[in-house]
Amino acid sequence: MEPFHVNGKMDGKKLASAIAVPVLGGAAVGWLANRDAQKKFQRLEKPGFAPPPAAFPIAWNILYATMGFARYRAGMRKRDKGMEDSFPSYDVQLGLNFLWSFLFFRWRLRGTALVEMTILLGAIALTAERFYKEDKAAGMLMAPYMGWVLYALALNASIWKKNDWK
């Protein structure tokens, strides 16, 4: 099985675009939301299960590329059925993903970020279900992302609590 071929077809432009949007968007949002916030974040009390700071950009780049690849596969299946290859739930979850960085880092609204991330988790689950209906592999590719966001949800809650709910 060729992973980049869906029903024997590959569309290099669609694949590149599907991966570039979350990867480059995530990089831009990360830079904008975090550029002046990292020193303040380093001073926060964190739980013992918090990863080292270097883990975040590595994990997010992998997850963004994986979700983009899942988007490509699901979209290719829809196009083969003669349908428009849009997934509103994917767009919503990506927007919520990007918004979280501003809520948590830039604006330091940790509680709001926690609520928003709970909604994000639901949007990811809906997207994974929609992708799975089109392409089982695409749906399964969303599982690591869902797991990481669940972990990040616990991390967000713990940081908020350890820092006097500020």
Residue 86 lies in a domain: yes
CB–CB of 101/29 below 8 Å?
Answer: yes
pLDDT for res 70:
98
In a domain? residue 103? yes
Q: Hey, how many other C-beta atoms are within 10 angstroms of the C-beta on 27?
A: 14
We report the CATH number of the domain holding residue 148 as 1.20.1260.100
Has residue 126 been placed in a domain?
yes
Q: What domain count does the chain have? A: 1
Whether residue 41 lies inside any domain: the answer is yes
Residue at 43 is within a domain? yes
pLDDT by residue for the chain (166 residues), tens only, comes to 587 888 788 898 999 999 999 999 999 999 999 888 878 888 999 999 999 989 999 999 999 999 999 999 999 988 767 777 889 999 999 999 999 999 999 999 999 999 999 999 999 999 999 999 999 999 999 999 999 999 999 999 999 999 987 6
Q: Which neighbouring-strand residues pair with 6?
A: 9
Compute the distance between CA of residue 137 and CA of residue 135 in angstroms, rounded to an integer.
Answer: 5
Which residue range(s) make up the domain with 86? 12-162
> 9 has which bridge partners?
6
pTM of the complete model: 0.92
